[in-house]
Amino acid sequence: MIFYFSGVGNSYYVARCLAEELHENLYFIPKEITGSMSYKIKKGERLGFVFPCYGWGVPTFVEHFISKLNIEGQIDYLYFVTTCGDDTGMTSEIFCKDVERKGWECKAGWAVIMPESYVCLPGFDVDNNDKESDKLIAARDRINKIIDDILDQRNVFDTIPGPFKWIKSNIVRPFFNKYLINPRHFKTNKSCIGCGKCVNACPYSNISLDNDSLPKWGDNCVQCLRCYHICPQKAIEWGVFTAKKGQYTKMIVKDLLSQHLS
């Protein structure tokens, strides 16, 4: 079984490749968190987690999900795959500790570099077309290697920590989680046509249209930026730095958009 989250489709792509090749069932975390969160694992079955790296760590809502998860049966092989735009800092150490608190042992973890989805701060933008294509081609080879490793149940940690990993994950990450995961900075510009696509796309049903057909953001936001990237009018802004930033839409596939809660 594979539990996954994906904002703009990269991690969903990885999770789907794994599920197809390994014949695993996929479980979408925002949907599962509304249920009992109890699962029976069969003898020899693998337990996988696939998620994007946020702020050089495991997204806090994924950590919350893991803390509530109940698995009946013996877990023989537990692994994770995180997708990132550049590097993952100490995501591997953070994930291993998260599962250790449950009494489980993480046996393997990989990072896959995919097109960038973070645009909210200066210096961060989507990749240009060439870089995006290069990343997606390289990702396919890397996913094949990960599938081979999982089939052989190898104990491998290959997670692209990058430079300054301790500072990024221990100093920047807490600041990022506290101040930059914040729906209050979302707003629409005058291009909004009230189509409601952002409302339907949000995996946490956090957006509604007001009486003037303008989107309103609630407090249940994980900063996945799916609403920002999906908007056909480029009408969504977060803070003051996104007006001239790009959108990444290649991986936002139809079945991903139907994975919201309502």
Ligand X SMILES: Cc1cc2nc3c(=O)[nH]c(=O)nc-3n(C[C@H](O)[C@H](O)[C@H](O)COP(=O)(O)O)c2cc1C
CB of 73 to ligand X, least distance (A): 28
Cα torsion angle, 208, 248, 127, 112, sign = positive
Size, binding site for ligand SF4 by CB under 6 A: 28
142's tokens? 């890397």
Which residues does 123 contact at the CB level (< 8 Å), separation at least 6?
Answer: none
Phi/psi region, residue 185 (left: phi>0; alpha: psi -120 to 50; beta: rest), is alpha
Q: Which is nearer to ligand SF4, 74 or 191 (CB)?
A: 191
Which residues does 57 contact at the CB level (< 8 Å), separation at least 6?
Answer: 89, 90, 91, 94, 169, 173, 177
Residues 42-61 that bind ligand X (CB under 6 A): 52-56
Question: Does 53 interact with ligand SF4 (rule: CB under 6 A)?
Answer: no
Applying CB under 6 A, the span of 93-101, 102-110, 154-162, 214-222 interacting with ligand SF4 comes to 214-222
Residues 226-255 that bind ligand SF4 (CB under 6 A): 226-227, 231, 233, 235-236
Closest CA to 169 of 183, 159, 155: 159
224, 227, 230, 231: residue in contact with ligand X (rule CB under 6 A): 224
Residues that bind ligand SF4 (CB under 6 A): 7, 183, 188, 192-198, 202-204, 206-207, 215, 217, 221-227, 231, 233, 235-236
